[in-house]
Amino acid sequence: MKKLLPIETVVIPVAGYGTRSLPFTKAIPKVMLPLVDKPGIQYIVEEAVKSGIKQIIFVTSSNQHSIEDHFDYYFELEEKLKAAGKKNLLIEIRKVSDLAEFVYVRQKEQLGNAHAIYQTKRIVQDKPFCVQWGDGVVLSNGTTPLLRQLIEVYEQVDDCDIVLASLETDDEGTNKYAILEVEPAKGGIEKVKSIVEKPGPTGTKSRIASTNGYLLTPKVFQYIEKLNPNTGVGGELVLADAIKAMLKDGLNAYTVRVAGRAIDVGSKVEYAKGFVELALAHPEIGPALKEHIKANNLIK
């Protein structure tokens, strides 16, 4: 059996421009888009904490101050809530700041998702860690939280170096995701044979997409260092290319299909769907919203 180090860190890159959500994201990071009464990034952090994560490393850029502010203490507001006797709200906002240890690393140049992850090398050091993109909310809704699913596979499989979350996709998905070729492995999971970034429908027979969730060992940093941006999709340093090289060298990757509700906050349509779903399920506003929809014949 391999000697296991506890996996208590997740890296969350949030430095993107949010071009899919413009013009809203001109001044506000897309990860701060609200899903009813919480920004999307808070859902990601809460699900990570449910998975046993204790340290959140945000990879930020120059316009991400609102993320740091959201997870920091706000003493002036807390004093006003205390003076107004609004104890429940006071507890709620303080709880956000106490969810985990928050670390912020600046990505000075946006050279790709692998480059973003590489900025955390000195903090991660020799420990395995998780990665989740900041615009991909996955709600467990009674199932095992996403990162806990990955951690359980890593703990159960002796020769495991990488665990990827995946989902079934269609032809269009092959233009949006890295695509995996897999084979059955013990315990009902699948072993990853290959990965290719956005191959398009004619570039692969597989329709299994690598999606928003990774468990990596520090070996990945060696492979990121060797990446050539001229060969990466979009001229960037791409994580899928580093994983591809790791597989070529005989390292072992496994995948689990995502359980839970995934919401792509960076897509206007998917964001709207997620907002409506969460609003209808919200105990305070859900009943009134349903009544409003019915009374105004908003759905034909």
CATH code assigned at 156: 3.90.550.10
Question: Would 211 be classed as within a structural domain?
Answer: yes
Q: Residue 18 domain-assigned?
A: yes
Query: Is 290 within a domain?
Result: no
Among 222, 239, 6, 19, residue whose Cα is nearest residue 111: 239
| 282 found inside a domain | no
Q: What is the CB neighbour count within 10 angstroms for residue 114?
A: 24
User: For residue 230, what pLDDT band results from cuts at 50, 70 and 90?
Assistant: low
Whole-prediction pTM: 0.92
Has residue 4 been placed in a domain? no
DSSP structural state of residue 237: -
208 falls within a domain: yes
Range of the domain at 231: 9-266
Residue 298 predicted with pLDDT over 60 = yes
CB under 8 Å, gap of 24 or more: what pairs does 181-190 form?
181/205, 181/206, 181/208, 182/206, 182/208, 182/255, 185/157, 185/254, 186/157, 187/156, 187/157, 189/153, 189/157, 189/254, 189/255, 189/256, 190/254, 190/255, 190/256
Residue 211 confidence class, pLDDT cut points 50, 70, 90: confident
* pLDDT one-digit tens code per residue, 81-136: 999 999 999 999 999 999 999 999 999 988 999 999 999 999 999 999 999 999 88
- The answer to whether residue 275 sits within a structural domain is no
Whether 296 is in a domain gets the answer no
Torsion of CA 192, 195, 198, 201, to 10 degrees: -60
Please give the pLDDT value at position 233.
Answer: 66
Domain count, the chain: 1
> What is the spatial distance between Cα 121 and Cα 141, in angstroms, rounded to a whole number?
33
pLDDT tens digits, residue range 164-208? 999 888 888 888 888 999 998 877 789 999 998 888 988 888 999
pLDDT in tens, 27-63: 888 899 999 999 999 999 999 999 999 999 999 988 7
Q: Where are the alpha helices (DSSP H) in 202-285?
A: 219-225, 239-248, 268-281
Which residues have CB under 8 Å from 230's CB, separation 6+? none
